Structure 1
Amino acid sequence: MGVSMGTGSMWVERWERQQQRYAVDREERFAVIADVTEHLCAGRDRPLLLDLGCGPGSLSVRLARRLPRAEIVAVDMDPVLLELGRTHHSDSARYVDAVIGEDGWTDALELDRTVDAAVSTTALHYLPAAVLLRTYRGLADLLRPGGALVNGDHFPPDDSPCSDLTAHVGRRRAERTGAHGHADEDWESWWRAAAADPELTGLFEQRERSRSSSGGGNRHLSVDAHTELLHRAGFRHVTPVWQVGDSCVLVALKG
């Protein structure tokens, strides 16, 4: 079921282009996550990083460039994206197939020490709130004292008129930077095209068999709501460190 290097490279490159539609200032957000992670790992010889909902390794490869001595464990449940990551970004991380938030999911990571930083970008919003709280608790157990969860995602304000404003600012920012204009396909068309590639047929069959039906998600949760859940999970300090529109990097430090 392996994917050739040429096929892996093509689909990852197309993934990178279409993802520009969905994350305001995507590269800057990646850079901020790397800035925070680098700061947290200063002076540590071989930091251990956990990339949650890694997809094809977009964040992992950027962190590996910034912290070349780090060990990165990248986890996702999608066999298509995991195989593309293993093929195109094989040197960046150890890729693990696990369903984040399920009972025992952290056991599949096979970690030999505590984690310095858990990072994520546009992934944890798929978890229902109760599963998200359980996930936050599991991460608090994995992290060393002083370690952190660094999560880049969209966090709309609780107040609907304010939510409309932040979404509008994000859209206008994307228009000014030309992010939408540079992407020749969107999420749905990328998946349709990839599913038609004969080299990926077996992976898509596996994807259909393993697809989670948990549903729900937490896209409506604000920074304040996430902060409350993080405090309940054992994180002592929580703060946003960067925001454009409702795209934000939220950092939760373990005391």
Structure 2
Amino acid sequence: MSPYIADAAAWQESWDRQQEAYLPDREHRLAAMLDAVDAVHDDDRLRLLDLAGGTGTISDRALRRFPHAEITLVDLDPALLALAHASLGDRVTIVTADLCRPDWHAALPHRDYDAVLTATALHWLPAERLERLYAELRELLRPGGILVNADHMQDDTLPKLSKRLLDRARDRRTARYAAGAALSWADWWQRAEADPALAPLVARRRAIYPGGHSPEWNPPVSWHLSALTAAGFAEVGTVWRGGADAAVAGVR
């Protein structure tokens, strides 16, 4: 049973604003991901897996686009999952699972998803685990189904330009934080820890991730395309790019 969070909507809004400060084109990338799903599945009764879905941003946007979609959201973070429960209710099946474990998919309600979507989440997995995860996800897709992963993926043919883009984005973000226009990641979690309902969940989160959540391993887009090909996807490619970020897709 998820704890009651009286101001869950406000927390979800503050999460979205914090994320948008870090990823100004966040909504564009999510729309591009859903466009890719729409291109391979022309019925809004699709079955979608929101992988490492956190507070449910992808699930929420998918339900707006495909009102009859059957969605499973998977994550391990108890604080973010509590917000997902509060905002999405029974519209989404929420599963707690650790993607580092090879049996993470045992609790999923299905094995034939039309699409798997994940955004800015898998960069904390080591290379060997992410390679295996891509293969595991392929097996969870129906023939013709699609996996889309959006994350920090530089274009390795533009190393100098990519660095300049990253530097400019960092400077703009720092300025927004300094002006008080948005909360940083650390500030958001500090406020969550001070909230009576979220505080015990943040404590559990720290126990789950004692060494920190993300090693920030960000290989270039070519690495992901090679890994998707090795995982057995019939088609692989880039469906969106914004600065030093990209969304790669694999079609089974």
Structure-1-length-normalised TM-score:
0.88
Aligned residue number for residue 158 of structure 1:
156
Indicate conservation of the 8 Å contact 2:155/2:221, yes or no: yes
Structure 1 segments of 4+ aligned residues over 6 angstroms from their partners? 178-182
When the two chains are superposed, the root-mean-square deviation of aligned CA atoms in Å is: 2.5
Shift of 1:250: 1.3
Distance 1:40 1:250 in 2: 15
Aligned residue number for residue 129 of structure 2:
131
Indicate conservation of the 8 Å contact 1:129/1:217, yes or no: no
Distance 1:79 1:93 in 2: 16
Unaligned runs of 5+ in 1: none
- CA deviations 1:26-85 (Å, max 9, x no partner) are 111111111111222214x63110011101001110001101111110111100000110
Aligned residue number for residue 145 of structure 1:
143
Aligned residue number for residue 11 of structure 1:
11
Indicate conservation of the 8 Å contact 1:3/1:84, yes or no: no
Aligned residue number for residue 201 of structure 2:
203
**54-63 vs 23-32, which deviates more?**
23-32
Which of 190, 215, 240 in structure 1 is aligned with 2:238? 240
Shift of 1:228: 0.8
Q: Does 1:78 align with 2:116?
A: no
**228-237 vs 205-214, which deviates more?**
205-214
SS of equivalent to 1:184: coil
Shift of 1:244: 1.6
SS of equivalent to 2:22: coil
SS of equivalent to 2:67: coil
**24-33 vs 65-74, which deviates more?**
24-33
Aligned residue number for residue 223 of structure 2:
225
Residues 1-255 of structure 1 aligned to structure 2 (within 5 Å)? 2-43=2-43, 46-111=45-110, 113-158=111-156, 160-168=159-167, 183-211=181-209, 217=215, 219-254=217-252
Structure-2-length-normalised TM-score:
0.89
Distance 1:179 1:25 in 2: 17
Q: Percent identity?
A: 37
Shift of 1:93: 1.6
Count the aligned residue pairs.
249
Unaligned runs of 5+ in 2: none
Distance 2:90 2:247 in 1: 26
Indicate conservation of the 8 Å contact 1:37/1:117, yes or no: yes
Distance 1:61 1:89 in 2: 7
Indicate conservation of the 8 Å contact 1:46/1:70, yes or no: yes
